[in-house]
Structure 1
Amino acid sequence: MKILFYIMFLFPLTGFAQIFISGKVSDRNKMPIPFVNVLIKQDSLLIAQTTTDTLGNYRVKINKAVSHDLFFQDINFKRQRLSLLIAKDTIVNVELEEVSNKLNEVLISSRKNLIERKADKYVIDVANSVTAMGSDAFTLLGKTPGVRTSSREIGLVGKSGVMVTIDGKVLQLSGEDLVSFLKTIPSSDIAKIEVITNPSASYEAQGSSGVLNILTKKNSQEGYSATVNLSYKQHRYANFNENASVVFNKGGWSLNGGLSFASGTDLERNEIDTYYPGQTWYLQGTGIDKNHSFNSNLDIQYRISDQTQVNFSFSGANKKSDKKTNYTTNIFNINQHLDSISNGITALDRKNRQSLFGFQLNHRFNSDGKSLAVVTEWLDRGENRNQNLWSQNYLSSTENQLGSQSEARTENKAGLGVFTINTELKLPFDGYELSVGGKATFINLRNNSKIFEGLNGQYVFNAAQSPVSTYRENRQAVFSDLKKTFDKWKFQLGLRMEYTQTRGLSAAIQKTSFQKDYLQLFPSLSIGYSLNENNNFDLTYGRRIDRPGFRLLNPFRVYVNAYDYWEGNPFLRPSLTNNLSISHTFHHSFITTFSYSNTKDNFEQIAVFQPNNVVAHQALNYMNTSVYQLMLTKSIRTTGWLESNVQLQGFYKENLAKINSISDTKLKGWYFMINNQILFNEAKTISAELNFWYQSSNIELEAIYGKQYNLDLGLKFLLFKKDLSLGLNVSDVLKSNSQRFSTRVNAIRQNFYNYWEPRFFRWSLQYKFGNKKIKYDKPNRSNSEEDRR
């Protein structure tokens, strides 16, 4: 064990001596001023620049011991200039004088790029997006370049296994539960979305292809502000969303709170064509989901001193869903004559609740950047899932098939408790930035499942298929990150070590238990080189892990209809991925990136055909994959009223099967995206957005997907000194964003069609009052890991 810690902390330390200027910026009342621009010039040449953090602290480095001019500037304060001869590390604290006549509105001629590309990630500025207005987190992710979403999952183009976080805090949800929760987060609370393709060691190792981090807005100004949002969305049925948020800052206290309520009806269509040796089954299903959700959140910060800040947070989510699906299956014989018909109905009642409590301590030891962050979280989540199934076979459209009627009722209660504690210590020294930390996670999952089989309303309990399962997972992690910048080079080297212990028990007629302990190392590396002002090169490497979601570990059967059910596997192994990328940036606007990733032991639920044409989807580790990808990204701003962002990806994938029932697959494809932001007047009160993407054929494990494309339009008006915003958005204008794919397992081919009505139009209204100067305040990461699980 000592050797591992030496590996983590003894990095090669080489470089040149540098001088650091640090300090604190405050007002005349000794209150810290966040986000002040700090510029350092030598002979009128800008040599360094930074901004103060939320506590008013700043730190910047220079290379020469000569005279420097320091500038401190903020729109609400008078600009201050200091001329100093700096020969060693120096602390410079300043007080700024507030301007006496603030402008109610400032017209800025430039604006931020909607998409900002960096070596290890790209960032989407949601606040500047027209189509974001009146939307939610899930919809925004689906419109993020390179991100693809469906009614059940979220992933990157050409890759899978992405981790979703909010302000660095991992969501303890997966599949439909994750999608449902993201739909309750209003877009008005979101500042940016980060697509982190190569996370450092301080991030969780979970997520084979990276991290999708949703950054929320904070208000750091004195006083209060509030926002009210109303939206109406219409596809086949109507959906309503109302939310309100309030921010209050006074002295050392800061309070952020919000409430949101959503209700509506969603329509989902699906088709499955199954080609058996002697029969062909054509299934058509239509589901209507009536759902209601209520969410609340509260975040309280208190600044104990200039160096110490504590944070208490709470978030609660409740959702109720009543979904009824009608299925019709036409069964044809080998001569393609109608043999029989099977009709089915499923009625699903789901109730989900989730509570998250958090505490965070941030302490800055001095002005040279040494700091400590401690984060603890407790998650409590529960689900009640009750489903009734009915099916009847017919020899013709009117003649019943004797003995073919079946009924079943399933009840499942699940409870999840997760406690995490995470610490991170930053120790800058001699021009290096060193971060070390550790985390402990304790997971307790319990499922109580019951299946009742019956006829004509009389049900009999099936004990053999009604397991009570428990799952415990304890995990300890330590990590270290080291950064160094000198001359034209940037280096970052990290290592994360995780030791995991799992215990499980499934009790039905016979008890089945398992125990797995494993130790994994996750190295990461980033090297940057600046050839000149217009050419920058970056190389990154990282090793990642994908742990099975809790639902995949649950052996309980979830029935779709009388002929189709899904079940988990407590013996699933996690998959491991190695990612490597090389990129070149030209003129800060044109980026070329080549990447390679290799994943071992991919897992999912795959079709296993049973007697009587019953299809069981069982969770297995059954695939190794390799992905080669070339991505071109270009930002174009030829005029003051139009900004375009273009992304083009080409990829080649190799999927190698580990089981005999499927074959190896290889495929090459491409993806194209263009985003256009349009301003119609100089005051920027009328704007529009046009987004289009195209995805060629693709493969995901054993499934081969057909092409997809999507066109979105948006229009936004700012009224009453920009306090009132009105928006109109039309999604999937061409009605082309449906999902078609096919599989071949045990020589049986299945064709799938899914359509969850991404085509809709939405009216939205937003009104702000109080102090409207909202700024983004990035919190420390909690390093939680049970993201997609």
Structure 2
Amino acid sequence: MMIKLWFLLFLLFLTIFGKAQETAQVSDSLKGLKPATTNISEVIIQSVQRSIKMNEGNVVMTVSGNKNFRTSTNLLEVLRKTPGVTIDQEDGIFIGGRITPAIFINGKPIVMSSQELQSYLRSLSPEMVESIEVNTNPSSKYDAEFKGIIDIKLKENTNIGWRGSYTGVIYANKFNYRENALNLSHNTEKVVYTLQMGYNDGISTYRYHALQRLANTNVMRTNTYQEDAGKVYNIQAGADFKLNDKNRFGINVRSNFRANDRFRTGSLYTTDKSESQLVFNTANESPTHYKQDNYGITTEYSFQGKTFTFNFLGNYLGVRNNQKDDFINRDIATNDLLSHWRSDLVNKIDIYTAQIDISQKIGNADIEAGIKYSHSDTHNNIRYDTLSVGNQFIFDPARSNLYSYKEKIWAGYLAYRQKFSLLQINAGMRLENTNSISNAITVDSVVTRNYLEWLPSFSANYAFNKSSELSLSYSRRITRPVFSQLNPFRFYFSPLNYWIGNPYLLPSFTSQIKLTYRYKSWITSFTIGKEKDVMTRYPLYNPETNVLEYLGTNLPYRKFASLETSFPIKLTRWWNITTQFAGYYNYEFRPYLGEVFTLGIYNYEIRLNQTFSLPKGYTVNLFANYESQTGNSLYIIKPRYAVDLSVQKSWLKNKLNTKIGYNNIFDSYDQSLEFRHKQIMDNRFTHWWDSSKLFISASYNFGNSKFQVKEIQKTDEENRIR
């Protein structure tokens, strides 16, 4: 452990030492070198500035052509190195601490399941993406449930003809995992056709360890090992029709198919409090077959006049899940069967959305308005059968569950934007009406909600000059509980550990203020806010059965603040460093088991992304990430870190791009938690994922594009971030 910490300190020392050397070199240059040399150094600084900028308080990062992302295999890897963005071990995306953002493509939201979204982002190479904009305080123009937005702007192909690219990646750990992506496009003067196909397969592993001192003073150790063999197929086809100079119509259809065979083994090893006498030792097996089919279609139409624009966007997403599990428990000493139950889950989700946005320019002011309707319908049927004394499986009504959830949302907004010399003002108001019906059919429980909310926003941006600007914004957002948080049936981690949904959860509301300042390429932001009716989970231990379950509830409130800063440093012509620092504060008011726990938690994250441009076209990237100890009112989360190393080289006039690297070199990014209040429960557990992997990647570009068509008209918003 000490060696790993010294390694991180050494990386930090290199950064500081390199900066000191650069400062000394600049000082010497001012004394003795010719003015021409000074001009060259200024050109270098401008080159760094073009990779990062600010748009109305949001960080905009250039991706294609950015040396910092040259060794990244796909867009998920790019996001890991983007300031303000975090990717966890299961490829979950977070910004501003632990906010799950909405993903936009070219300024429009995409309606995908989380697994389909991960597959899509893995199919995008850095060369296909022009920029990424990270918005941690969206205005009233956007859905109120969007606490944050990552807008991915794809590169436009303006050449007539067709072109394509293939990317293949192999990840090697105990087992291999392979990713394949094929992207094709064909341009005519009036239509752009696109086709994306992908196939991923391989085996991933996961481990879970827990230590719990039971109420009768016995000590129980839980160990779980899981192998997940999965296959993912996806295909996406689209056409964008330029009807004339003012009218465009587009359609996109897609499918994503996933199949997983998961085998999980575990044990419960229990001793007395001295840990010298064995109480019981059981083994459990849980083979699982999981299948998910996704179908989606998107249609859009836009009219762009001289001062008036009209946009329509429609989305449909259909998700079909099917999962079959066995839960088998045996006594290890005698191999006697203790229990055996099976589950059969069928889950169907249908989501429809339609929205219209219009804008009118009046002088130097813009008036925008829009309306949106969304409808989601989810049905969940899980059946459990338990092996009886007669060696027959019998329906288990205690575990089985039939549940449905329907939600309709009507929303409208009005926004105003105007620029006064160096000052730009944005103000908006959003109105959302939510109507939901939660029906737990098995227990005959129906929960209906119908509520109307006004959600304002305001922002002001002032540009002092080309090098510095200041932005201040305010917004009020709503977070509705998702289906998995509401569904009142059990999701098992082990025979004595599971979590269960709560159909009575209320939506939470967040009000926050964000201040952002940019000086050249140095961007710093400070956010402060308060969230009411916070949705969270809490543990409940049964001393008679030794079952530990996690239940959902609403906390009265929490207060939070964050400070984030990032800046690039060009030490030499061949050595670039991007430094990111984020500090977080979280204060919870948490009632729990008749007591109230209040605790202010401070934590921070540091990232160093170093890029070395070596002779003969080689690029080396060294990325280090450290997260300090954090947690909440009930749990302590231990510190962790990761170090990635990768090398990139282009061949055949940049048509062939090869990459090799090792992610999480020291296998140090597991997550360990410990319950704070030992008088209530002594519980510690660790999640480990096989994120320490060697990878090899190759991508090849081909096609016969020859000459350019006229550039497609862009909106004012698109032009501002160029």
TM-score range, shorter chain: 0.7 to 0.9
Structure-2 separation of matches of 1:255 and 1:361? 16
The residue that corresponds to 1:232 in the other structure is: 170
Q: For the Cα contact (< 8 Å) 2:185–2:192, is it kept in 1?
A: yes
Structure-2 separation of matches of 1:182 and 1:468? 33
Structure-2 separation of matches of 1:399 and 1:556? 32
Inter-CA distance 357–515: structure 2 relative to 1 (3 Å threshold): same
Structure-2 separation of matches of 1:180 and 1:393? 40
The residue that corresponds to 1:374 in the other structure is: 312
The residue that corresponds to 1:121 in the other structure is: 58
Residue 468 of structure 1: how far off its partner (Å): 1.8
Inter-CA distance 134–415: structure 2 relative to 1 (3 Å threshold): same
The residue that corresponds to 1:600 in the other structure is: 532
Q: For the Cα contact (< 8 Å) 1:134–1:763, is it kept in 2?
A: no
Q: For the Cα contact (< 8 Å) 1:261–1:294, is it kept in 2?
A: yes
Q: For the Cα contact (< 8 Å) 1:603–1:623, is it kept in 2?
A: no
Secondary structure, aligned partner of 1:667: strand
Structure-1 separation of matches of 2:705 and 2:614? 23
Q: Deviations over 1:552-571 (max 9, x none)?
A: 22222222222122221222
In structure 1, what residue type is equivalent to 2:667?
A: K
Structure-1 separation of matches of 2:476 and 2:162? 44
The match for 2:697 among 764, 783, 787 is 764
The match for 2:289 among 344, 349, 353 is 349
Q: For the Cα contact (< 8 Å) 1:653–1:699, is it kept in 2?
A: no
Question: In the alignment, is residue 283 of structure 1 matched against residue 222 of structure 2?
Answer: yes
Residue 399 of structure 1: how far off its partner (Å): 4.1
The match for 1:711 among 631, 639, 643 is 643
Q: For the Cα contact (< 8 Å) 1:222–1:249, is it kept in 2?
A: yes
Q: For the Cα contact (< 8 Å) 1:440–1:475, is it kept in 2?
A: yes
Give the % identical residues: 20
Matches within 5 A, 1:86-125: 110=47, 113-125=50-62
Matches within 5 A, 1:598-747: 598-610=530-542, 611-622=544-555, 624-660=557-593, 663-681=597-615, 685-700=617-632, 702-744=634-676, 747=680
Residue 193 of structure 1: how far off its partner (Å): 3.1
Count of matched residue positions in the alignment of Structure 1 and Structure 2 = 660
Q: Deviations over 1:338-366 (max 9, x none)?
A: 322121111111100111111100111x2
Question: In the alignment, is residue 544 of structure 1 matched against residue 477 of structure 2?
Answer: yes
The match for 2:263 among 324, 337, 360 is 324
Question: In the alignment, is residue 427 of structure 1 matched against residue 360 of structure 2?
Answer: yes
Q: For the Cα contact (< 8 Å) 1:273–1:750, is it kept in 2?
A: yes
Give the stretch that moved more between structures: 179-188 or 296-305. 179-188
Q: Deviations over 1:175-201 (max 9, x none)?
A: x77656755666565443332111122
The match for 1:477 among 388, 411, 425 is 411
Q: Deviations over 1:122-142 (max 9, x none)?
A: 233333356565734444433
Structure 2 segments unaligned to the other structure (5+ residues): 1-45, 716-722
Structure-2 separation of matches of 1:344 and 1:132? 45
Q: For the Cα contact (< 8 Å) 1:724–1:768, is it kept in 2?
A: yes
Structure-2 separation of matches of 1:777 and 1:679? 35
Secondary structure, aligned partner of 1:428: strand
Q: For the Cα contact (< 8 Å) 2:369–2:413, is it kept in 1?
A: yes
Inter-CA distance 180–752: structure 2 relative to 1 (3 Å threshold): farther
Structure 1 segments unaligned to the other structure (5+ residues): 1-108, 781-789
The residue that corresponds to 2:24 in the other structure is: none
Residue 598 of structure 1: how far off its partner (Å): 1.4
Question: In the alignment, is residue 385 of structure 1 matched against residue 323 of structure 2?
Answer: yes
Residue 118 of structure 1: how far off its partner (Å): 4.2
Inter-CA distance 214–570: structure 2 relative to 1 (3 Å threshold): farther
The match for 1:303 among 221, 242, 250 is 242
Residue 287 of structure 1: how far off its partner (Å): 0.5
In structure 2, what residue type is equivalent to 1:354?
A: N
Give the stretch that moved more between structures: 632-641 or 245-254. 632-641
Residue 648 of structure 1: how far off its partner (Å): 1.4
The residue that corresponds to 2:445 in the other structure is: 512
In structure 2, what residue type is equivalent to 1:123?
A: V
CA RMSD between the two structures: 2.7
Question: In the alignment, is residue 526 of structure 1 matched against residue 459 of structure 2?
Answer: yes
Q: For the Cα contact (< 8 Å) 1:405–1:455, is it kept in 2?
A: no
Q: Deviations over 1:537-594 (max 9, x none)?
A: 21111112222221222222222222122221222111111121122222x2223322
Q: For the Cα contact (< 8 Å) 1:712–1:732, is it kept in 2?
A: yes
Q: For the Cα contact (< 8 Å) 1:114–1:129, is it kept in 2?
A: no
Residue 596 of structure 1: how far off its partner (Å): 0.6
Inter-CA distance 521–540: structure 2 relative to 1 (3 Å threshold): same
Question: In the alignment, is residue 500 of structure 1 matched against residue 437 of structure 2?
Answer: no
The residue that corresponds to 1:101 in the other structure is: none
The residue that corresponds to 1:461 in the other structure is: 395
The match for 2:685 among 746, 749, 752 is 752
The match for 2:98 among 141, 145, 159 is 159
Structure-2 separation of matches of 1:580 and 1:241? 41
Give the stretch that moved more between structures: 665-674 or 724-733. 665-674
Question: In the alignment, is residue 333 of structure 1 matched against residue 272 of structure 2?
Answer: yes
Structure-2 separation of matches of 1:333 and 1:113? 64
Secondary structure, aligned partner of 1:551: helix
Structure-2 separation of matches of 1:466 and 1:371? 52
Question: In the alignment, is residue 490 of structure 1 matched against residue 424 of structure 2?
Answer: yes
Residue 523 of structure 1: how far off its partner (Å): 1.3
Residue 417 of structure 1: how far off its partner (Å): 0.8
Q: For the Cα contact (< 8 Å) 1:676–1:691, is it kept in 2?
A: yes
Residue 326 of structure 1: how far off its partner (Å): 0.9
Structure-2 separation of matches of 1:183 and 1:754? 24
The residue that corresponds to 2:139 in the other structure is: 200
Secondary structure, aligned partner of 1:761: strand
Q: For the Cα contact (< 8 Å) 1:527–1:539, is it kept in 2?
A: yes
Inter-CA distance 432–119: structure 2 relative to 1 (3 Å threshold): closer
Secondary structure, aligned partner of 1:200: coil
The match for 2:301 among 361, 382, 385 is 361
Structure-2 separation of matches of 1:393 and 1:777? 69
The residue that corresponds to 1:418 in the other structure is: 351
In structure 2, what residue type is equivalent to 1:753?
A: T
Residue 250 of structure 1: how far off its partner (Å): 0.5
Inter-CA distance 409–701: structure 2 relative to 1 (3 Å threshold): farther
The match for 1:259 among 182, 185, 197 is 197
Q: Deviations over 1:222-278 (max 9, x none)?
A: 211110111111111111111111111102111111100000000111111122232
Structure-2 separation of matches of 1:378 and 1:221? 31
Residue 488 of structure 1: how far off its partner (Å): 1.9
Residue 711 of structure 1: how far off its partner (Å): 1.3
Q: For the Cα contact (< 8 Å) 1:548–1:573, is it kept in 2?
A: yes
The residue that corresponds to 1:173 in the other structure is: 113
Give the stretch that moved more between structures: 606-615 or 353-362. 606-615
Q: For the Cα contact (< 8 Å) 2:474–2:513, is it kept in 1?
A: yes
Q: For the Cα contact (< 8 Å) 2:506–2:554, is it kept in 1?
A: yes
Residue 604 of structure 1: how far off its partner (Å): 3.1
In structure 2, what residue type is equivalent to 1:125?
A: T
Secondary structure, aligned partner of 2:340: strand
In structure 2, what residue type is equivalent to 1:447?
A: N
Inter-CA distance 315–542: structure 2 relative to 1 (3 Å threshold): same
Q: For the Cα contact (< 8 Å) 1:255–1:299, is it kept in 2?
A: yes
Residue 172 of structure 1: how far off its partner (Å): 4.2
Q: Deviations over 1:440-464 (max 9, x none)?
A: 0111111111011115863111134
Inter-CA distance 138–602: structure 2 relative to 1 (3 Å threshold): farther
The residue that corresponds to 1:292 in the other structure is: 231
